[in-house]
Structure formats: C-alpha cells, structure tokens
C-alpha cells in the first residue's frame, strides 16, 4: 500500500473512532458551536465585543485577528478548495443526532471552519496573549466539531488549522513591516522662498483635538522650540473654518493631526498660497512618513531654518473637460502598462474653482472609487453608534457581502471595476493596496484597477498578488498624467486621503507638480 493510501486509511480510522465514541454533552454543544461559526459570525461577534468593551491594545488585537481570519478564509476559498477536490466523508456510523440538518456542498479539504477559528485565535494571541488563551479552547472545539458532526476528516481539520496559524503569523509580519517603516526624505526640489521663523512668529498651527496622545506630544515640542507660534485647537466640525481663519493671518500655516486633517490644511494652503508645516499627529501619517517627517522635532527645526521642499498634489475636478492636455506620447488608456507622462499637468489655481465653476478636491496620498469608499462610508455611518473598531468589522462584512462592481467610463472606455485607485506618485507594493512612495515630486498618477466579475473578496485577494505594473484578468496598473472618469452612477462614493464624499457624474483626476511648499529638513 502506498504512503498516500496508508494515510487515508488512518484518516478514516480516526474519523470512525470519533464517530463511535460517546462524548458527554457533545450532542448539545458541538453541533451548535459549529453552526455559530458559519460565515465567521462567531468570530465577528467576538471581535465586536472586544472592540466595544476592551482597551485600545485589545481593539488593535481584535482588528488584526479579524484580518488573519479574512486572509485565511480568502486563501481557503480561492486556492484550497480548488486545488484538492476531496469528497466529504460518508456518514455511515455517525449518529443521526450529531449530523447537520444541512450538509455542506463544497469539497472537504481543507476545513474552512478550522482555518478561520485558528486564524482568529492566533491573530488574537500574538497581540493579546490573555485574550488568545481565552479564545483558543473555543477555536479548538469548533475545529473538533467538524469531525464530530461528520463533515470533515481529521486531516482536513489539521490542514485548515495549520493554514489558520500561518495566516495569523503572516498578518503579524505585515503589520510589523508597516509599523517599522521609517521616514526617509525623497528627492523633492528645495523651496527657496520658504520663510525662516526662528522663534515661530508668523506660524499658526491648527490642531485636531481628536488626534490623541501623538498630537499632544508634538505640541509640547512645538511650544518649547517655537514659543511665539500660535496654536489653535479645535474639533473636527470646526476644522475647516479654523484653517481658513488661520490662513488669513499666518505667514506659514501649520497643522497637527492625521492624513485627513493634513489634507484639509493642504487644500487651504494651496488656495491661500501659503507654505505648510506638518506636525504628524494621526495613526498612520502616510504623507508625513513618505515626505520624511518622523516627528515634531524635525518640523520645528525645518521651520526655524527655513528649509522646505516642493511637492506634487493630486486633484480631482468635477466636469467633463480635462484641465490639462497630456503630452504627445502619453497613453490615456488605463489598461496600458507602458503609459508614461511626457507633459505637465496644469499649474494649481488655488483661488479658483476649475471645471465649470465646480470646486476641485485635492489629495496628497490616494483617491479611490469602489470597494474602499463603500467600506469608509459604512464605517463612518456606524462608528458614532458602536465605535471605530466594531464599525470597521461590520463595514468590511457588509461590503464583502453586498458590494457590486461600479460601471463607468475611463478615458472613454466602459469598465466594470471593484476598485479604482489613483495614487499621488508611484507607490511600492503589489496589487491595489498602496504601501509607500520614494518621492512626492512626480507628475504622475499611480492608477490601479480591480476589474469587476466574481466576488469582491477573491478579486481583491488575487489583485493583491499581482505585480505593481501588470495586466491580468483581475488587475491592471499603470502610471498616467491624468485620468478622465465619466458616467459615474449617481450616489457612488469616492474617498481621498481617508475622507469620504459623493462622486460627480464626470470628473478629471490629475496631478499638480511642485504645487505645495512643505517644511522638511533635506
């Protein structure tokens, strides 16, 4: 008998041994526990409870555990079930009281329930060991219930559990790489006209009071290094009004907060023709890290010495007409993997409203239509009621279950897309998810599309493994000076730098090279 045959025989023997043995209380508990874990409901509820009642580190651990579960589930459903088409076990010998009323129709290897259970438990344990220890027995019971009820062989469960553990470690590694990213200055040109403010006089810094402890620490440094700077603290609803008021009396406009707050300040600075000073105070600080700003100390030194750079800004303008013609060699088709910019986008019009009188919007990092804006829309809807962490879990679940592709026209061509992403400059990283940029001086959009068809989860996962400049059935990436988008369905959301808005029917996305002066040490 071959090794494979021997393994199959022992697998069946162990399955039969479980079926023959009486497990006290098992008939009442294990089938119900397995049903509770269908579609990840048990683990989603656990994550919501931790997010609602746990500490900040616990909420962070729950989010990473949910990400581990999502990775394991997507891997099982897109690769595992397709690669090994093993039939479900015959139910001979399994007591009828244990059998599920509705038998699974998918293939047997590996066990998705086991993968999800162990992925969630591993992701939780790696970041909150006490919570992980509490959840581990439940995860093991869910995995065992799949053999107990006769829907999986023991080897199915073991393989699923191994994949789940691997998913937990993979998510931890990804998180460590993101958190360990260091701010490194790029090759942006120097801004020779930026004023030096040795004691901070003329600097007005608007602070988003909701940014938390990171912003508070930055303000302590600011008060010490630039004592004559004016500091204005405000809540989110007052932010734009305070920024506009500050721009009217400042020589330099400063901002302390996350990427959304920095976006609002950059928009104000562009329209007022002022240099911008960024004090990182948010959770991720994508713009500050890509620019090379590690903290408030460096920003204070740059202001005192008058050292700044010119950076490009992304812009989206409502209206059917492009605001700048591409160069003669540019390829306007976003499906081209050889497009390069040979012309420059139009210069910024800070005080005007291009596009037939409609106001332009600006983005320092990213612009998107499709799955991510829908995720953001649902999160913003639920966050005031149940908190940010639970709202994110609920939003992801809602989008993956109900999202439909967006049908629109890109540069005159009809497209169905799950996600349209445009980055201000070229991002590293494969697939549709941005990671980091080496320079903010490019006059290019990093355009990535996840084409419609199938379900959003498998499509987005497949796109994540595609190359940064690739053409595949699910994912396309290119670099363009501008992109025209038409026939956007009414009510379609768009997102820019983590902010949410309704998309107009037609718009042009382009870049404004060297449009914004930002303080930074060279």
Most confident of 157-171, 266-280, 349-363, 492-506: 266-280
471, 335 in Cβ contact below 8 A? Answer: yes
Band of residue 331 on the pLDDT scale cut at 50, 70, 90: very low
pLDDT attached to residue 512:
94
Between CA 414 and CA 275 the distance in angstroms is 40
| pLDDT single digits (tens) 143-165 | 888 877 777 788 888 888 888 89
* Residue appearing with tokens 């869910």: 142
What stretches of 206-317 show up as alpha helix (H) in DSSP?
Answer: 213-225, 239-247, 259-272, 286-291, 296-305
pLDDT attached to residue 31:
75
Helix, strand, coil % over all residues of the chain, rounded to 5: 45, 20, 35
437, 366 in Cβ contact below 8 A? Answer: no
Band of residue 61 on the pLDDT scale cut at 50, 70, 90: confident
pLDDT attached to residue 513:
92
Give the pairing type, strands 203-208 and 252-257: parallel
Tell me: pLDDT of 304 over 70.
yes
CB atoms within 10 A of CB 427: 22
73, 65 in Cβ contact below 8 A? Answer: no
pLDDT attached to residue 126:
87
Band of residue 263 on the pLDDT scale cut at 50, 70, 90: very high
Mean pLDDT for all residues in the chain: 78
Q: How far apart are the first and last CA of the chain?
A: 70
Pick 372 or 322 by higher pLDDT.
372
pLDDT attached to residue 269:
96
Burial (CB count within 10 angstroms: exposed 0-12, middle 13-18, buried 19+), residue 160: buried
Pick 369 or 427 by higher pLDDT.
369
Q: What is the residue-wise DSSP string for 452-490?
A: -SS-HHHHHHHHHTS-SS-B-SSEEEEEESEEEEE-PPT
135: nearest Cα among 252, 45, 2: 45
Nearest 5°: the CA angle 434, 440, 446 is 40
Least confident of 37-51, 100-114, 125-139: 100-114
Least confident of 245-259, 299-313, 355-369: 355-369
152, 146 in Cβ contact below 8 A? Answer: yes
Between CA 362 and CA 509 the distance in angstroms is 9
Tell me: pLDDT of 518 over 50.
yes
pLDDT attached to residue 353:
35
Give the pairing type, strands 203-208 and 230-234: parallel
Query: What are residue 420's phi and psi, to 5 degrees?
Result: -120, 120
Between CA 167 and CA 70 the distance in angstroms is 9
Give the pairing type, strands 413-424 and 308-318: unpaired
19: nearest Cα among 75, 82, 96: 96
Band of residue 41 on the pLDDT scale cut at 50, 70, 90: confident
| pLDDT single digits (tens) 225-236 | 999 999 999 887
Tell me: pLDDT of 291 over 50.
yes
Number of H-type helices and E-type strands within the chain: 16, 15
Tell me: pLDDT of 283 over 80.
no
The stretch 208-221 carries a mean pLDDT of 71
Tell me: pLDDT of 135 over 70.
yes
Between CA 273 and CA 194 the distance in angstroms is 11
| Cα radius of gyration (the chain) | 26
| pLDDT single digits (tens) 382-394 | 777 776 666 766 7
The stretch 414-431 carries a mean pLDDT of 83
pLDDT attached to residue 77:
67
Between CA 273 and CA 314 the distance in angstroms is 16
* Residue appearing with tokens 């010119």: 310
pLDDT attached to residue 487:
93
């Amino acid at each position: 008998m071959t090794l494979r045959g021997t393994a199959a025989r022992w697998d069946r023997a162990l399955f039969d041994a479980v079926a023959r043995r009486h497990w006290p209380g098992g008939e009442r508990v294990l089938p119900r526990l397995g049903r509770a874990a269908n579609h990840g409901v048990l683990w989603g509820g656990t994550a919501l409870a931790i997010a609602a009642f746990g500490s900040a580190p616990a909420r962070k651990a729950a989010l990473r555990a949910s990400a581990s579960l999502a990775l394991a589930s997507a891997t099982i459903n897109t690769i595992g079930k397709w690669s090994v088409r093993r039939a479900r076990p015959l139910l001979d010998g399994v007591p009828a009281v244990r059998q599920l009323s509705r038998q699974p129709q998918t293939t047997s290897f590996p066990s998705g329930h086991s993968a999800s259970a162990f992925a969630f438990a591993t992701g939780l344990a790696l970041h909150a060991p006490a919570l992980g220890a509490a959840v581990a027995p439940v995860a093991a019971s869910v995995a065992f219930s799949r053999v107990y009820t006769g829907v999986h062989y023991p080897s199915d469960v073991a393989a699923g559990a191994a994949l789940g553990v691997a998913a937990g470690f993979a998510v931890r590694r990804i998180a460590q790489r993101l958190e360990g990213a260091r701010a490194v200055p790029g090759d942006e040109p120097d801004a020779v006209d930026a004023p030096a403010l040795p004691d901070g006089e003329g600097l007005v810094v608007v602070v988003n009071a909701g940014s938390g402890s990171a912003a508070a620490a930055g303000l302590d440094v600011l008060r010490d290094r630039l004592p004559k700077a004016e500091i204005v603290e405000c809540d989110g609803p007052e932010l734009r009004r305070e920024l506009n008021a500050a721009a009217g009396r400042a020589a330099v406009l400063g901002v302390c907060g996350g990427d959304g707050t920095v976006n609002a300040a950059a928009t104000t600075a562009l329209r007022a023709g002022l240099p911008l000073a960024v004090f990182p105070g948010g959770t991720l600080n994508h713009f500050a890290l890509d620019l090379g700003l590690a903290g408030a100390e460096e920003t204070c030194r740059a202001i005192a010495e008058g050292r700044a750079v010119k950076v490009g800004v992304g812009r989206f303008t409502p209206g059917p007409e492009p605001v700048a013609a591409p160069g003669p060699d540019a390829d306007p088709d976003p499906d081209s993997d050889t497009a390069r910019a040979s012309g420059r986008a139009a210069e910024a019009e800070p005080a005007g409203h291009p596009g037939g009188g409609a106001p332009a919007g600006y983005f320092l990092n990213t612009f998107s239509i499709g799955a991510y804006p829908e995720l953001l829309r649902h999160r913003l809807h639920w966050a005031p009621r149940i908190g940010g962490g639970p709202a994110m879990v609920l939003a992801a679940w809602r989008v993956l279950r109900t999202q439909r592709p967006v049908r629109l026209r890109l540069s005159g061509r009809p497209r169905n897309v799950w996600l349209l992403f445009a980055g201000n400059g070229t991002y590293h990283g494969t697939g549709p998810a941005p990671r980091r940029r080496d320079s903010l001086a490019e006059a290019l959009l990093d355009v990535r599309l996840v084409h419609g068809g199938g379900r959003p989860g498998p499509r987005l996962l497949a796109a994540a493994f595609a190359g940064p400049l690739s053409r595949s059935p699910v994912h396309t990436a290119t670099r363009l000076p501008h992109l025209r988008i038409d026939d956007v369905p009414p009510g379609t959301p768009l997102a820019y730098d983590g902010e949410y808005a309704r998309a107009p029917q037609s718009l042009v996305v382009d870049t404004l090279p060297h449009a914004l002066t930002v303080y930074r040490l060279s």
